[in-house]
């Protein structure tokens, strides 16, 4: 049973526009959510996170929104740049600090 779902395997946007990546979860015990960025043949790198007690966290071009009632979070990238092209993983923290990851969304930003 998939507890963290990223329903869009891929997303393509134009440079300068907004990228919106979505993530849904089922476990209401998750208390912390993170986004990771991954290039091929490399390890994921931490991008931004949000606690379950907040509904928004912003860091430069990246903003994460959390809707607890809908069990939904989203990552907004504005403006999108070609260097943002990568796979983005949503992750949720449960008991024992274990992270459960979604399957990822491949973002392509076209010049």
Partner 1 sequence: DGGITQSPKYLFRKEGQNVTLSCEQNLNHDAMYWYRQDPGQGLRLIYYSQIVNDFQKGDIAEGYSVSREKKESFPLTVTSAQKNPTAFYLCASRDYRGQDGYTFGSGTRLTVV
Q: Note the residues at the interface with partner 1 (CB under 8 A).
A: 6, 9, 32, 34, 36, 41-46, 49, 89, 91, 93, 96-104
Query: At a CB cut-off of 8 Å and minimum separation 6, what does 60 contact?
Result: none
Task: Kindly tell me which of 36 and 109 has the beta carbon lying closer to partner 1.
Answer: 36
Contact present, 72 and 55 (Cβ < 8 Å): no
Task: Kindly tell me which of 11 and 79 has the beta carbon lying closer to partner 1.
Answer: 11
Q: How far is the CB of 68 from partner 1 (least distance, A)?
A: 19
Tokens 């983005």, located at residue: 88
Phi, psi at residue 85, to the nearest 5°?
-65, 120
Task: Kindly tell me which of 1 and 28 has the beta carbon lying closer to partner 1.
Answer: 1
Cα atoms in the Cβ-side hemisphere of radius 13 Å centred on 13: 22
Strand partners, 15: none
Q: How far is the CB of 84 from partner 1 (least distance, A)?
A: 19
Distance CA 9, CA 88 (A): 10
Task: Kindly tell me which of 5 and 68 has the beta carbon lying closer to partner 1.
Answer: 5
Q: How far is the CB of 82 from partner 1 (least distance, A)?
A: 22
């Amino acid at each position: 049973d998939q507890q963290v779902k990223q329903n869009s395997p891929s997303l393509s946007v134009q440079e300068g526009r907004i990228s919106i990546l979505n993530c849904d979860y089922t476990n209401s015990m998750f208390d912390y959510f993170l986004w990771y960025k991954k290039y091929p043949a490399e390890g994921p790198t931490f991008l931004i996170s949000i606690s379950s007690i907040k509904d928004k966290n912003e860091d430069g071009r990246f903003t994460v929104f959390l809707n607890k009632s809908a069990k939904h979070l989203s990552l907004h990238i504005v403006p999108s740049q070609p260097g943002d092209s990568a796979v983005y993983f949503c992750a949720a923290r449960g008991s024992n600090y274990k992270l459960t990851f979604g399957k990822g969304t491949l973002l392509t930003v076209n010049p």
